[in-house]
């Protein structure tokens, strides 16, 4: 039995938290923030038009709108007025926010996501890969909780499972998420990506039991709780290296856009795309103005310690493969998660 509170694993609860980014919910920011994801207007092809379009969207009760109308409109704002940054970190984060809490990725493919690796003005960290690895690593958490409940004799008819503490599972979850993030973007600080939010929800403010990274270090290092034995098939062997105050790998880099400047619209000055059961015609703004910009190359700022190769990568154990939750399933769970927050 995985009860209502314990089913909230992985992207499901993070999408729900993203819906609740209000004053009453002081959660850490992450790439899943849905209500008001960050966007820098000054480098857009039509910066003032982009800012006006973006800020004109009504976000009152946006987290209760299953269609995410505000995000849909902002996607169109960006495609028209900021077409030169469709591979940027800002646009890619907008896609992540939409796809993890609003859409079924099997039926909706938004323009320019994910980006090609060598694209001009592309984000230094592939956020689509981050989400994929995050999702796969997270799949061990409900298996772990189920096994802990089974070992303690909690059945489907036992309400005590609602608040039964699972600190070992929570420590493993934090560790595998950290390993997955460092494995995907080793020079990026994983905190703003989502690790700060995971620590806040699963370690620091977990209502089902006291926990801390210091306790995680001793709990997992003691050998009394094996993340792989409890269902974390991916990165389970690496959790002990990261679920502690000083992990074996750290980085302070921030997202940045690299590979120069995108000077011409990828799909032409006018093109169409289909989404939300509608075909839209997009006309790129200020194409001539961008063509005269000087190209520049930027680099990721920050520092890196430790090596991720050979430490964060771990092949899933033999047996049943770790299930990957579809976007549609995540949406359903995120609705449940929000109802329980």
Model pLDDT for residues 232-260, shown as the tens digit of each residue: 999 999 999 999 999 998 888 888 999 99
Residue 239: both structure tokens together: 């959790």
Neighbours of 98 (CB within 10 A): 22
Tokens 């960006």, residue located: 78
Give the Cα-Cα-Cα angle 34, 39, 41 (nearest 5 degrees): 150
pLDDT band of residue 12 (cuts 50, 70, 90) is low
CB neighbour class for 324 (10 Å; exposed up to 12, middle 13-18, buried from 19):
exposed
Top-confidence residue, 147 or 59: 147
Which residues, in sequence order, are CB contacts of 101 under 8 Å at separation 6+?
A: 15, 16, 18, 19, 32, 34, 68, 330, 331, 334
Closest CA to 186 of 126, 257, 119, 118: 126
The mean pLDDT value for 298-304 works out to 42
Looking at the chain, how many residues does it have? 341
- Cα 128 to chain centroid, rounded: 8
d(CA 195, CA 177): 7
pTM score? 0.79
List, in sequence order, every residue forming a beta bridge with 101; answer none if it has no partner. none
Q: What is the mean pLDDT of residues 49-65?
A: 75
pLDDT at 157 over 90: no
Query: CA–CA separation, 299 vs 132, rounded Å?
Result: 24
Mean pLDDT of 156-173: 77
Cβ atoms of 97 and 238 within 8 Å: the answer is no
For the packed helices 140-151 and 167-184, what is the interaxial angle rounded to 10 degrees? 160
pLDDT band per the 50, 70, 90 thresholds, residue 205: confident
- Considering only residues 16 and 102, tell me which one the structure prediction assigns the higher pLDDT: 102
Over residues 122-149, the pLDDT tens digits come to: 999 999 999 999 988 889 999 999 999 9
**Between residues 49 and 313, the one the model is more confident about:** 49
């Amino acid at each position: 039995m995985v009860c209502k509170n314990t089913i909230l694993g992985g992207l499901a609860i993070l999408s729900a938290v993203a819906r609740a980014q209000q004053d009453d919910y002081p959660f850490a920011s992450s790439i899943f923030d849905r209500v008001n994801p960050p966007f820098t207007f000054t480098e857009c092809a039509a910066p003032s038009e982009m800012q006006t379009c973006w800020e004109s969207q009504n976000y009152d009760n946006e987290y209760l709108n299953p269609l995410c109308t505000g995000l849909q409109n902002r996607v169109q704002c960006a495609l028209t007025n900021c077409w030169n940054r469709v591979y940027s970190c800002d646009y890619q984060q907008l896609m992540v926010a939409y796809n993890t809490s609003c859409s079924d990725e099997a039926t909706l493919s938004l323009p320019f996501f994910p980006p090609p690796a060598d694209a001009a003005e592309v984000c230094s960290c592939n956020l689509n890969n981050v989400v994929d690895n995050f999702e796969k690593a997270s799949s061990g958490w409900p298996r772990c909780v189920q096994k802990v409940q089974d070992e303690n004799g909690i059945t489907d008819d036992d309400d005590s499972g609602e608040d039964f503490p699972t600190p070992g599972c929570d420590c493993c979850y934090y560790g595998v998420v950290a390993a997955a993030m460092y494995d995907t973007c080793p020079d990026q600080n994983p905190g703003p990506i989502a690790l700060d939010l995971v620590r806040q929800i699963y370690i620091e403010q977990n209502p089902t039991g006291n926990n801390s990274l210091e306790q995680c270090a001793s709990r997992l290092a003691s050998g009394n709780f094996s993340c792989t034995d409890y269902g974390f098939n991916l990165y389970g062997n690496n959790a002990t290296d990261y679920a502690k105050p000083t992990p074996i790998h750290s980085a302070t880099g921030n997202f940045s856009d690299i590979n120069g400047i995108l000077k011409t619209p990828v799909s032409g000055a006018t093109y169409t795309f289909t989404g939300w059961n509608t075909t839209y015609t997009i006309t790129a703004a200020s194409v001539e103005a961008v063509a005269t910009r000087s190209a520049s190359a930027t680099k990721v700022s920050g520092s890196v310690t430790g090596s991720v190769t050979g430490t964060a990568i771990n092949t899933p154990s033999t047996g049943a493969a770790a299930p990957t939750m579809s976007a549609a399933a995540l949406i359903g769970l995120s609705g449940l998660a929000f109802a329980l927050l």
